[in-house]
A and B are shown apart, each in its own frame.
Chain A
Amino acid sequence: MLELLPHLPLGVTLESFTDIDFWTGVGIIAGIYTILALGLQLNVGFTGIQNFGQAAFMALGAYSMAILVNDAGMSFWLSLPVSILITIAFGLVVGLPSLRLRADYFAIATIAAAEAIRLFALNARDLTGGAQGLFGFGDDWDSVAETIEGWLSDLGWTDVPTLFPLFIVVWVVAMALTFALNRVQHTPWGRVLRAVREDEDAARALGKNAFSYKLQSLAIAATLGAIAGFFLALNLRFVVPDEFLPIVTFSGYAVLILGGLANYWGVALGAVILWFVLEGLRFVELPLSETRIASLRFIIVGLILIGLMAFRPQGLFGRREEMVLGE
């Protein structure tokens, strides 16, 4: 993830710090993590299920799309909904047996399922290209990107960064999804979800099928993961197993903690802060080797998270009251 922009040396000057190409790239990643973490927010923050397999949903979305376009000759646009359905189906297969387990066992089951998907992608070379991955699925997207670029140059902006159209689309989608999830949360359906988070037995005693709501929550998280996967694939222009390591899901959790639990708007803010801190720290000049600086960035992010847990456990947007009452 972090080696996305290898052409930029570490520890450079203000010139790079204001480089629009660089920040467009960072913005896209922040947008992808926003979409990914919206699914986690729905699961963890609003349903109380500890989904640690979000990276697998992302992988399934990206791989399904690439395979359907490359091998099955499906159109890019049709491959998107089909890939979402495949990802949801996987989510249900994982959820049906494991959502009946206690919360911590569910977390273990999801992380195992996610690793199974990644290792499958790594080894099923005929289907997934193994460690080399898949590429060449983005032609339809490229023509859309050109159209957007055309609009921007009509507006008088000539040197549009190559990735800027993707940046726009990622964030339009991320904001639309945030808005939609927020709306749905404030309905009777969302109320049942929160009741399941608080106490499944109480929800059941009032006639709510808690298990069904948990499955629905997981299916929506799978959808969001798949969408994040599409954008990741378009951003990199290839799909490789290494992009779906458990660290991806963990970073999604860092986004949740930063933005605050049980708040959808906090997710975007958390993602932006996480990635701008991580990438911005590249420009800090220190008398250290490059690899040490690279590690230092994670240490600093870690310190920020620890500080947040100590002084503002509800995150930037969360409600302190909800944290305190959660005990």
Chain B
Amino acid sequence: MNEPRGAPADGRIFEAEGVIKRFGGIRAVNRASLSIREGSITALIGPNGAGKTTFFNVITGFYKADGGSATFAGRQVLGKPSYAIARHGMVRTFQITKALARMPVIDNMMLGATDQPGERLVNVLFRPGPWRRREQEVRAQAMELLEVFNLARLADHYAGTLSGGQRKLLELARALMARPRFLLLDEPMAGINPTLGRRLLDHMQRLRAEEGVTFLFIEHDMEVVMNHSDRVIVMAEGHVIADGEPHEVRRDQAVIDAYLGGSAEPDSSDSAEEPR
């Protein structure tokens, strides 16, 4: 957490090379390679079953890779345990939200904090001073973030009583408590109403501008992908089939083929017909 936040020399904070994940005979991720610039907002798209979430799980240590390499800020992450990767500043959220239901919202948030010496039993028993002080800071930071996400008034409610959209926001806010350098979001917009979604996107932009946080997010809403990302990476059948700026990717023949074998543009099936 206290590492310098400077960008690596070539500006790439994350690089994956030939990542493979097999399930039985199926290669869910098949030699996927991509790189992410520090401070960018990158969308990862692709048809269902393309291996996007599996790729997330592999690079964040939740699945064991069957091949390839992935470095974050110059360090190899494949083969590292998930909690260690998160501590290095590469933090993820889940497609199916993991709100800790039987814990109050504020505890969910405070859990996300790093550098809390009170998470070690020895310190709890023998050195109460430092962690109590840290706890105060963490609580203040948590309340601040809850304000941003409109959840402050629910701070003392059990997370299990929140609506689906609120849980999604809570999970993102909780991930931010870890002060990540690289944030991986698995379908952050799904199930959130447009107003809150806007708030979330604004917050992403602000975090990028103010703290240089890098984002990689899986998203199906093409309106969001095209208007809010600097770069779009497209996966299909375990490969990365396209990588470029939004306007380039939407005209890429391979991408159009991958999405329903050639509908004019990737977004036509998603948000175009939705009433405004």
- CB-CB under 8 A from B60, the residues of chain A are 205
- Distance in angstroms between the alpha carbons of A189 and B158 in the assembled complex: 19
Interface size on A, residues (CB 8 A): 27
- CB-CB under 8 A from A322, the residues of chain B are 102, 158
Q: Mark A119-158 against chain B: 1 for CB-CB distance below 8 A, else 0.
A: 0000000000000000000000000000000000000000
- Indicate which residue in A199, A321, A325 contacts B98 across the interface (CB closer than 8 Å): A199
The answer to whether A195 touches B93 (Cβ under 8 A) is no
The answer to whether A207 touches B100 (Cβ under 8 A) is no
Which chain B residues numbered 46 to 82 have a C-beta less than 8 Å away from chain A?
A: 60-62, 81-82
| Interface-located stretch among A24-32, A167-175, A208-216, A245-253 | A208-216
- CB-CB under 8 A from A205, the residues of chain B are 60, 62, 82-83, 86, 91-94, 98, 175
The answer to whether B116 touches A188 (Cβ under 8 A) is yes
- Distance in angstroms between the alpha carbons of A202 and B119 in the assembled complex: 16
Which chain A residues numbered 154 to 208 have a C-beta less than 8 Å away from chain B?
A: 184, 187-189, 191-192, 194-195, 197-199, 201-208
The answer to whether B102 touches A194 (Cβ under 8 A) is yes
8 closest Cβ contacts across the A-B interface? A325-B160, A188-B118, A202-B98, A198-B100, A207-B86, A207-B87, A204-B82, A325-B101
| Max chain B Cβ within 10 angstroms of own Cβ: one of A187, A195, A197 | A187
The answer to whether B119 touches A203 (Cβ under 8 A) is no
- Indicate which residue in B94, B111, B125 contacts A191 across the interface (CB closer than 8 Å): B111
Question: Which bucket holds chain B's interface residue count?
Answer: 35 or more
- Distance in angstroms between the alpha carbons of A199 and B91 in the assembled complex: 16
Min CB gap B179→A, angstroms: 11
Task: Tell me if B33 counts as interface (CB < 8 A to partner A).
Answer: no
- Distance in angstroms between the alpha carbons of A207 and B60 in the assembled complex: 11
Min CB gap B275→A, angstroms: 35
- On whether A201 and B158 interact (CB within 8 A), knowing A188-B116, A192-B111, A208-B83, the answer reads no
Task: Tell me if B120 counts as interface (CB < 8 A to partner A).
Answer: yes
Task: Tell me if B174 counts as interface (CB < 8 A to partner A).
Answer: yes
- Distance in angstroms between the alpha carbons of A322 and B100 in the assembled complex: 11
A-contacting residues of B (Cβ < 8 Å)?
60-62, 81-84, 86-87, 91-94, 98, 100-103, 107, 110-112, 114, 116, 118-121, 124-125, 131, 135, 158, 160-161, 174-175, 177-178
- CB-CB under 8 A from B177, the residues of chain A are 206
- On whether A198 and B114 interact (CB within 8 A), knowing A204-B83, A209-B81, A216-B121, the answer reads no
- CB-CB under 8 A from A201, the residues of chain B are 62, 82, 94, 98
- Indicate which residue in B83, B124, B131, B160 contacts A210 across the interface (CB closer than 8 Å): B83
The answer to whether B161 touches A325 (Cβ under 8 A) is yes
- CB-CB under 8 A from B120, the residues of chain A are 189
Task: Tell me if A326 counts as interface (CB < 8 A to partner B).
Answer: yes
B-contacting residues of A (Cβ < 8 Å)?
184, 187-189, 191-192, 194-195, 197-199, 201-210, 216, 262, 321-322, 325-326
| Chain A residue, CB-CB nearest to B119 | A188
The answer to whether B178 touches A206 (Cβ under 8 A) is yes
- Distance in angstroms between the alpha carbons of A163 and B161 in the assembled complex: 50
The answer to whether A195 touches B100 (Cβ under 8 A) is yes
- CB-CB under 8 A from A209, the residues of chain B are 81, 83
Min CB gap A180→B, angstroms: 9
The answer to whether B158 touches A321 (Cβ under 8 A) is yes
The answer to whether A207 touches B114 (Cβ under 8 A) is yes
Min CB gap B253→A, angstroms: 37
Min CB gap B178→A, angstroms: 6
The answer to whether A198 touches B94 (Cβ under 8 A) is no
- On whether A206 and B91 interact (CB within 8 A), knowing A188-B124, A189-B121, the answer reads yes
- CB-CB under 8 A from B178, the residues of chain A are 206-207
- CB-CB under 8 A from B107, the residues of chain A are 191, 194
- Distance in angstroms between the alpha carbons of A199 and B158 in the assembled complex: 15
Given A189-B124, A204-B86, A325-B102, 5 additional A-B pairs, CB 8 A: A187-B124, A199-B98, A204-B82, A205-B91, A208-B119
